[in-house]
């Protein structure tokens, strides 16, 4: 079963559940204080907000006891995907490198963006081609990915950048970067390729009638 971890303030947990239901993937929403079920085969840290975000997005939730269970599961190769606030929690808890901070615009941004697939040899991207452009929505005020130059060089050398913000034709430009993220990075892998965080919302692009289907390939990694 895919465990969708609900924190106080999560609001995309139901979106994730509906998307996984549509893909025929068994899943359930888990309250963070209850811990992970024994039958957990994958984990989603969904978007929304979490308690303590007024300090720094994801910082308090990253210290919830369940996150030690999540880190242990990730070390064992259980697929873990953090989306939006879940990406902030994932980076704050050390699942992935870098950090997310206030958008360069200093505004909450809700729009569709184009992403270029940078590494198609991961569970999250194997259904795409390298260089393929997909379209997903964003909805966040603190989605700017920050990372030091040396660490950026390291993760790029290890092919751990999953997606970059780009133009519809695949060109990576400043204009296509909605948040001011370092090097247009929109999603990264942890030490294991089975752990990933990304700021755009794949669960909102699974059902054609409400947002397109480009996100299906990402969530299909849980199948």
Catalytic one of 32, 114, 140, 201? 201
Query: Is 114 considered catalytic here?
Result: no
Query: Is 84 considered catalytic here?
Result: yes
DSSP string, the chain: -EEEEEPTTB-SHHHHHHHHHHTT--EEEEEGGG---TT--EEEE-SB--TTTTTSTTTTGGGSHHHHHHHHHHHTT--EEEETHHHHHHHHTTSSSSEEE--TTSS-EEEEEEEEES--SSTTTTTS-TT-EEEEEEEESS-EEE--HHHHHHHHHTT-EEEEEE-TTS---STT-SS--GGGEEEEE-SSTTEEEESS-GGGSSSTTTT-STTHHHHGGG-
Catalytic one of 84, 114, 140, 166? 84
Query: Is 166 considered catalytic here?
Result: no
Catalytic one of 92, 118, 142, 203? 203
Catalytic positions, written as ranges: 84, 201, 203
């Amino acid at each position: 079963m895919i465990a969708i971890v609900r924190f106080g303030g999560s609001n995309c947990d139901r979106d994730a559940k509906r998307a996984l239901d549509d893909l025929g993937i068994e899943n359930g929403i888990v309250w963070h204080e209850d811990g992970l079920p024994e039958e957990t085969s994958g984990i989603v840290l969904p978007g929304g907000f979490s308690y303590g975000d007024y300090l720094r997005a994801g910082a308090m939730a990253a210290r919830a006891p369940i996150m030690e269970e999540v880190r242990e599961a990730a070390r064992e190769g259980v697929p873990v995907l953090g989306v939006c606030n879940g990406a902030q929690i994932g980076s704050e808890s050390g699942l992935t490198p870098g950090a997310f901070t206030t958008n360069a615009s200093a505004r909450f941004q809700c729009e569709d963006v184009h992403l270029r697939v940078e590494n198609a040899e991961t569970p999250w991207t194997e259904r795409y081609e390298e260089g393929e452009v997909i379209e997903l929505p964003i909805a966040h005020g603190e989605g700017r990915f920050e990372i030091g130059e040396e660490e950026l060089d390291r993760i790029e050398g290890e092919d751990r950048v999953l997606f970059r913000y780009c133009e519809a034709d695949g060109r990576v430009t400043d204009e296509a970067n909605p948040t001011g993220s370092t090097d247009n990075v929109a999603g990264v892998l942890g030490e294991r390729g089975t752990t990933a965080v990304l700021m755009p919302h794949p669960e909102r692009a699974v059902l054609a009638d409400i947002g397109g289907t480009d996100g299906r390939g990402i969530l299909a990694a849980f199948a």
